[in-house]
Amino acid sequence: MTQVPIVMPQLGESIAEATVIQILVQPGDEVEADQNLIEVETNKATTTVTSPCRGRVAKITAQCNTAYPVGGTLGALEVSAEDAKRLGGAPRQHSQVSLSPSHPSELDRVDPSESVQPTVRGLPVPANAAGASYMSPRMKARMADLGFHNADLAGVAGSGAGGRVTIQDLEAFLLSLDKLRTTQASSMRVAVADAMRRSWTRPLATVALPILLDPLLTHRRTMDPKPGPALYILRALALALSENSAPAGRLVGHKIVHPAAIDLGFAVEAEDGVLVPVLRGVDKTPLASMVNRYNELVTLARQRKLPSDATGGSIATVTNFGTFGLTWATPIPLPEQTLVLGMGAGRRVPSWDEKKGQFVPVMEANLTLSFDHRVLDGGGAGRLLARIAEWMTSPEKM
């Protein structure tokens, strides 16, 4: 009988390793083709390593709760010479090495210097490009001189060990930029970019829900001065968070730190950027009482003259991206926040009326809630969004 290795298969695109969680066979067991041998877990799913053909388990070298790279050896099978030939034979000299305890097999050893690559094709940057995950002191100093962050080199494929970006790679990248047209970024654009870079270090997710705007539009016609749509969703978010503030908490170590007050920001487009004025105690202030202050802060933000008491310290932000004609978007929470609530453009759509037995036209818009997935899961985000939608259908109570 010829021995062939049991190897960790490629379990999906971009999957480079898997963790053994259960061994389903023992040495000496007779197995059939495609029989489950080892249960493994990737960051996406739990699956099994199967037998490539009929044979007998010679040895299992894998250990539970240990991660092995794709192509790594997990054990060995004794198979017929015909099957071994059909399978292409064992790699290198493995099939010729004894598996006795006195002569440990190369099957037991995986060279840690060997790089195992995920099978991804067609990427603009090689899958093995580690980017600037490690930088030499010289590299750090050069990047500091340029005002660069690690994210600025995300698209640079390094030529160093393990795909590391070297100083030579950086200089070559800078030379390539000199051949392209550039414009100076404003201080606000740089600040926004830095905030978004820090925000993106967290796992973010978005859920959405369509809501009827007819109750809001009807209520707005009775108001003087008239609240903008963003102020309605600002108030609805505040009321929902006043019932349960945990979704707006921040994960610090092993604790969720709840907000001390429901102070909410709202996005205002300014020249070459976005400013976020803050309304304090939105849960305790009726909608009608906030209209003038809201309008005042919008004007001051566009002039870039916000007072100090209207900046910073907000626990969530509201943005009305519908003003740009967008119906759906995935805004990113500010670094110090967990939530950002967005509203798309209203559209007239058909809706089935059970009483009339026919479709009737209604105004509808999408609400999106982007959140820090470490603090909130999809279910909790969905319930929060549903509660906001409930408040939006009863604007007279806000």
Q: Which two tokens stand for residue 292?
A: 């003038």
The model's pTM is 0.61
Helix %, strand %, coil % of the chain (to 5): 30, 25, 45
Residue with token string 């900046």: 311
**Range with the poorest average pLDDT among 84-98, 161-175, 217-231:** 84-98
Residue among 126, 137, 138 nearest 162 (CA): 126
Helices (H), ranges, 278-354: 287-302
Average of per-residue pLDDT across 25-44: 88
Which pLDDT does position 161 carry in this prediction? 64
Cis link prior to 247 (omega < 30° from 0)?
Answer: no
pLDDT single digits (tens) 220-253: 999 999 999 999 999 999 999 999 988 998 888 8
Taking the mean position of all CA atoms in its chain, how far away is CA 361?
A: 37
* 3-state secondary structure labels for all residues of 355-373: CCCEEEEEEEEEEEEEEEC
Determine the Cα–Cα distance for residues 94 and 4; give it in Å rounded to an integer: 7
Helix 229-243 with 378-392: angle, nearest 10 deg: 120
Determine the Cα–Cα distance for residues 273 and 268; give it in Å rounded to an integer: 9
Single-letter amino acid, residue 368: T
Q: Average pLDDT, whole number, for the chain?
A: 82
Residue among 235, 251, 240 nearest 381 (CA): 240
Which domains are delineated in the chain? 2-108 (2.40.50.100), 126-182 (no CATH), 201-397 (3.30.559.10)
CA-CA-CA-CA torsion for 52, 56, 62, 67, nearest 10 degrees?
A: 10
Task: Report the relative pairing of strands 46-50 and 36-41 from DSSP bridges.
Answer: antiparallel
Local structure of 39: helix, strand or coil = strand
**Using 50, 70 and 90 to split pLDDT, how confident is the model at 94?**
very low
Which pLDDT does position 96 carry in this prediction? 33
Pick the more confident residue, 237 or 10: 237
Residue 369 and residue 237 in contact, taking contact as beta carbons nearer than 8 Å: no
Pick the more confident residue, 364 or 195: 364
Pick the more confident residue, 379 or 191: 379
Determine the Cα–Cα distance for residues 327 and 350; give it in Å rounded to an integer: 16
**Using 50, 70 and 90 to split pLDDT, how confident is the model at 105?**
very low
